[in-house]
Amino acid sequence: MSTHPSFDDLGEPRLAGSRNRPERRHGAVMAMVLIVMVVLGLLGAGMLNLSSVTALEAGRSVAEAQAFWTAEAGLAHVQAIAQKIRKPLSSVPYAASPTGCLLGSNVVSGNCGGSCYAVSITDDTAWTNSAHALKKYVIRSVGISTNGAQQVVTLGCAIQSFASYLFASNFERSLAGNPIWFWGGDTIDGPVYTNDRLNIDGSSGNPRFLQMVSSAASSVNYSAGGTVAAFQDGLTLNATPLDISGEFTGDHITEIQNAAASGGLTLTNDYVFTFNADGSFNYNRTAPTNAPVSTNYLAALNGTIYVNGNAYIKGTVNGNVTLAAQQSIYISNSIVYASAISPAPWATNFVPANVDDTLGLIASNRIEIMGTSAINIDATIMVTSDDPTGNGGFRASAWNQSIGNPNINLYGGVTQYRRGVVGQVGGNGFNKNYKFDSRFVTEAPPHFPYSVYVFTGWKQSRY
């Protein structure tokens, strides 16, 4: 019996025991398809998961950014209040504060684009505010986004008084627009800040500025050989303007008036004051000439004297006092600290830490030196406004007289809205010999006005 071979679909002989090749191909393809489908499924699931994680992370980032900028808005809110009021935060009234002042927990709150912030302000624990005129605080603002994310920004701040400058001015020119000069013979040993252009005359040599000088102007007006060498510790131009123009107001004198009304001394009319080394002072009206003389002690006052008129002063101060005159103050002879007589501030063995007396002088029109001889003044001085006659600021009545250029030996500082004239280029009037009382970096005479807040130490953290 013969056997005939079988044939596959392609007409090829099929061997006994062998499988159909297309069947094998079909099986391999099916396996590959299943593997690809599994891989694609896994990839798809992974992509979906990654997309979900990315969306979640993006949402978290947006929420944290929203919380951060909301916290920043809280800081800006407090900064604006502080710079507007210019007082220690413990005495800044704020209606939203549970304690009635801008100090404590959650004292300021608000909303920003649906998010909210809460700001807490505390005393700087590394500083004792009650023991110093300089006040330091820590501001902590918590921002909360619409989905509950929280961010915290913290800022340190300190408020300085006008006593912290040796020399500060808003205008370095007269009411008529004429420049007021520093010239050879002038020594200015302390921090200087002006919002105006400085005027340096070199006809008798450069003046000497021994510490940093800052000016908001873009240049210095040099004349007759004056040079940048006058600034021996550096000069900063285009400095951020010191916001003092709006701070030279009658409010400062009013604050002394209010303080004097509750524990100080309040007087009306023009008065003469003679301060005595034993801590007492004598005072009497300028008119009539036989007006009775009264005696008081600085220790019996809260540190303030207010005169609704003019004041004439001289003598030796033993204690701490700020005297404010509604009109002008005239310095008729040297006025010095009992604790800084021997050695004097310009002596090589002088020790600032041994000085424990302070004197603040504030007037609205002028503080004027009378006489033609060298004079010693231990005080920090402030003139708060323009004198309408053009004779304002810290000035000398003999500014245009040929008196041999004696020194004004000022130990303390002078801040004035418009700089007054004490001498004249060409040899008239006084030379300036000003030295900063370094205690006033952190201290000040009683109730002396505050000038500006300085903010430092910004940092960010999660809640």
Q: What share of the chain has pLDDT > 70, as a percent?
A: 84
Q: What share of the chain has pLDDT > 90, as a percent?
A: 70
Check residue 426 and give its pLDDT: 81
Highest-pLDDT range among 81-95, 244-258, 321-335: 321-335
Check residue 112 and give its pLDDT: 85
Check residue 95 and give its pLDDT: 66
Per-residue pLDDT band for 263 (boundaries 50, 70, 90) equals very high
Per-residue pLDDT band for 36 (boundaries 50, 70, 90) equals low
* 231 DSSP β-pair partners: 209
Check residue 388 and give its pLDDT: 87
Mean pLDDT of 413-420: 94
Mean pLDDT of 415-433: 93
50, pLDDT greater than 60: no
Answer for the pair 432, 182: CB distance below 8 angstroms, yes or no. yes
Check residue 46 and give its pLDDT: 58
Backbone torsions φ then ψ of 149, nearest 5 degrees? -65, 145
Per-residue pLDDT band for 34 (boundaries 50, 70, 90) equals low
7, pLDDT greater than 50: no
Burial code of 88-104, b = ≥16 C-beta within 10 A, e = fewer?
Answer: bbbebebeebeeebbbb
258, pLDDT greater than 90: yes
| Look-up of token digits 């807040």 | 453
Mean pLDDT of 296-321: 98
Higher pLDDT, 143 or 5: 143
Residue 117, amino acid:
Y
CA distance 353 to 339: 10
Check residue 53 and give its pLDDT: 45
Backbone torsions φ then ψ of 220, nearest 5 degrees? -115, 140
CA distance 284 to 294: 6
451, pLDDT greater than 90: no
Check residue 55 and give its pLDDT: 46
Q: Is the dihedral of CA 136, 259, 275, 430 positive or negative?
A: positive
Per-residue pLDDT band for 20 (boundaries 50, 70, 90) equals low
Check residue 27 and give its pLDDT: 63
Check residue 98 and give its pLDDT: 60
Check residue 373 and give its pLDDT: 97
CA distance 236 to 295: 48
Backbone torsions φ then ψ of 234, nearest 5 degrees? 110, 155
Mean pLDDT of 196-206: 96
Per-residue pLDDT band for 92 (boundaries 50, 70, 90) equals confident
CA distances to 27, 98, 443, 451 from 448, rounded to whole Å, are: 98, 28, 10, 10
Check residue 297 and give its pLDDT: 98
Burial of residue 210, with CB atoms counted within 10 A of its CB: 0-12 exposed, 13-18 middle, 19 or more buried: middle
Higher pLDDT, 461 or 343: 343
185, pLDDT greater than 90: yes
Helix/strand/coil (H, E, C) string of the chain? CCCCCCECCCCCECCCCCCCHHHHHHHHHHHHHHHHHHHHHHHHHHHHHHHHHHHHHHHHHHHHHHHHHHHHHHHHHHHHHHHHHCCCHHHCCCCCCCCCCCCEEEEEEEEECCEEEEEEEEECCCCCHHHCCCEEEEEEEEEECCCCCEEEEEEEEEEEEHHHCCEEEEECECCCCCECCEECCCEEECCEEECCCCEEECECECCEECCCEEECCCCCEEECCCCHHHECCCEECCCCCCCCHHHCCCHHHHHHHHHHCCCCEEEECCEEEEECCCCEEEEEECCCCCCCCEEEEHHHCCCEEEEECCEEEEEEECCEEEEEECCEEEEEEEEEEHHHCCCCCCCCCCCHHHCCCEEEEEECCEEEECCCCCEEEEEEEEECCCCCCCCCEEEECCCCCCCCCCEEEEEEEEEEEECCCCEECCCEECEEEEEECHHHHCCCCCCCCEEEEEEEEEEEEEC
Pair of tokens at residue 203? 């006809």
Higher pLDDT, 251 or 399: 399
59, pLDDT greater than 60: no
Check residue 31 and give its pLDDT: 64
Check residue 15 and give its pLDDT: 45
Answer for the pair 314, 331: CB distance below 8 angstroms, yes or no. yes
What residues contact residue 230 under an 8 Å CB cut-off, 6+ apart?
182, 200, 202, 206, 207, 208, 209
Higher pLDDT, 30 or 351: 351
Q: What is the mean pLDDT of the chain?
A: 88
Backbone torsions φ then ψ of 447, nearest 5 degrees? 60, 20
Per-residue pLDDT band for 91 (boundaries 50, 70, 90) equals confident
